[in-house]
Structure 1
Amino acid sequence: MSEATENEAIESSKAICDDPLTKKELDRLFWRYQVRYLTCCNLENWHGNCYAYDMIPLYKKYYDKDGQRAGMRRMFDFINTEQTTASVLWGILVSMEEQKALGKPVSDDMIRTVKSSLMGPLAGVGDSLVQATILPLLTTIAISLTGTGDALSPLGATLFIIATPILLWTYARALFNSGYGLGKDAVSTLMGSAMDRIKIAIQLFGIVVIGALSASYVKVATPLSFAASADATPVVLQDVINGIFPNLLSLLLVVGCWFLLSKKGVSITKMIFGLMGVVLVLGLVGIL
């Protein structure tokens, strides 16, 4: 079967079941995500494989092989976020996939847009709350209960091992339930042009977040300088660039990477190794 024929078969696949997800099935999807989220990670789509794998029970309930394949492709898109806080996103995606299978007007682009746009903000909130606050706080309490010297106690380690999953999974379950309800209500309420406007708004929000992250973390500068004569004070090229367009080199790098990824089809893996090679060479010759 050619790729075009295969794509047509996938697009034309219909749901084989019209029953909503049961509580047992929702529980399975929640725990599948919580326990198996980090089972597969790669440089191409980071945790996209995990999302696709964790959604398999839903796809098997609603679709034939072609429909399952189409759903997996939706979930394979790149995603990198904080697992626990992103339970709200997982709930939204489960709800949207369910509503799509039940015949509601939920497009592939809408599901992909919600996933890609929310992963950044949720990563920021999750890293700050879970990684930088809750876990260090629990660790501090556990260490204080462990004691020192001859007064060592297993109480601290025991408390940490028991309290951490209980606290995080309670937090995650509340977010999952909220996300599932939010996604279900949104799909039921928004139709047609309203859904398109929401999609555009989410896309713009994602662009703003990516732009802010790029401006904060991408730093490119050149040490090159030149002088009109041997006695003249050297002019630093980076100072000249900053006087005309601050952070121009950083912007060119981001735009160049976007162009290669979206327009030329260069994979993320090739991009990473290519950037490493270019930076190494330019650094050795003194350009960067």
Structure 2
Amino acid sequence: MTENKDFRRVSKKDLWKTYIYSQAFVSGFNYSKQEAPGFVFSMMPVIEKVYEKEPEKIEAYRRHTELFLTEARLSHFVIGMTAAMEERNAIDQDIDPVSINAIKAALMGPLAGIGDSLYHGTLRPIMAGLAVSLVIGSNYTSMVGPLLFVIVMAVVGQLLRYFGIFKGYEKGVEFVAKVQSSGLLQKMTRYAGIAAYVVIGGFVYKFVTINIPWTYKAGETMVSIQTVLNGMVPGLLPLLYTLLMLYFMDKKKMSPVTLMLITMVVGVIGCALGILA
């Protein structure tokens, strides 16, 4: 009986299978169960390994057809932890099956917030801005920027999947509890946000252009207002305009789409009147 239990334990090979299956995690996405089909598919190697009887397998599969939605890459932490819980439920029988879905549901929100802010809200805009700047710097002839963007995003995504499944299984629920209690997640989110603001702020001068064509005569010299402003603070007008847009979005709750339309109208009218160039 002990040998049978040991044979049914999840091995590294099973976790590798789970990792491979999880590559199709979002392929079954739908608006009724969200990521649940992908979660069920990812759990197949584990469920088939730890459960012996067909009714037990069916019950486990049905358990994971419940709605599930979080950031796709960090969802693999949940997959790893769920693998550990299903193993304990099947072999040690010291865990309530109801608690498996309860823990999954409890982790959806926090992991979605962390993943969206760090992966989509920080890493993606930083890499996208860097890629665009490389393309512009090469006069639109180099593919280094797009390739760098794709490679970095893919590598980071795969690392999150790998560590999510293996460490999630190894540490179980204790892992997330410890990280949250230590305040590490909050610190990571805060510092990553600061880094994103710094990088994106640096791109303002590169991608936002405002030129004032006005000039005035000082003695025998024609002085350009734009040249004077650039001599004082390079990119002063783009910076001020960007801060103005941020103010409208943050304080006045205006839609970014509305602000983009206003910017287009201001640019067209300004050029037509000779205020902008």
- Classify the TM-score, shorter chain: 0.5 to 0.7
Deviation (angstroms), 1:144: 1.4
Alignment correspondent of 1:132: 121
Higher radius of gyration, 1 or 2:
2
Q: Give runs of ≥4 in structure 1 deviating > 2 Å.
A: 15-19, 62-65, 147-151, 171-178
Alignment correspondent of 1:53: 41
Paired with 1:52 and 1:23, the residues of 2 have a C-alpha distance of: 19
**2:130 aligned with 1:141, yes or no?**
yes
Paired with 1:22 and 1:149, the residues of 2 have a C-alpha distance of: 49
How many equivalent residue pairs?
Answer: 171
Deviation (angstroms), 1:122: 0.8
Q: Secondary structure at the match of 1:147?
A: helix
Provide Cα deviations, 1:22-51, integer angstroms capped at 9, x if missing partner. Answer: 211111112322x11101122222111211
Alignment correspondent of 2:147: 158
**So what's the TM-score if we normalise by structure 2?**
0.56
Aligned match of 1:97 in 71, 82, 86? 86
Aligned match of 2:71 in 79, 82, 87? 82
Provide Cα deviations, 1:53-76, integer angstroms capped at 9, x if missing partner. Answer: 211111222333222211111111
Superposition RMSD on alpha carbons, in Å?
Answer: 2.3
**Cα gap change, 1:109 to 1:142, in 2 (>3 Å):** same
Paired with 2:110 and 2:174, the residues of 1 have a C-alpha distance of: 22
Once the two structures are superposed, the pairs formed by residues 218-257 of structure 1 within 5 Å of their partners are none
Counterpart of 1:92, as a letter, is: M
**2:50 aligned with 1:62, yes or no?**
yes
Alignment correspondent of 1:72: 61
**Cα gap change, 1:55 to 1:151, in 2 (>3 Å):** closer
Deviation (angstroms), 1:102: 1.6
Deviation (angstroms), 1:95: 0.9
Paired with 1:132 and 1:117, the residues of 2 have a C-alpha distance of: 22
Alignment correspondent of 2:29: 41
**So what's the TM-score if we normalise by structure 1?**
0.54
Deviates more, 1:147-156 or 1:157-166: 147-156
* Aligned-residue identity in percent: 25
Paired with 1:137 and 1:115, the residues of 2 have a C-alpha distance of: 30
**2:109 aligned with 1:120, yes or no?**
yes
**2:24 aligned with 1:28, yes or no?**
no
Counterpart of 2:96, as a letter, is: S
> Could you list the runs of 5+ residues in structure 2 that have no partner in the other structure?
176-277
- Contact preservation (8 Å) 1:91, 1:180: yes
Deviation (angstroms), 1:151: 4.7
Aligned match of 1:106 in 92, 95, 98? 95
Deviation (angstroms), 1:129: 0.8
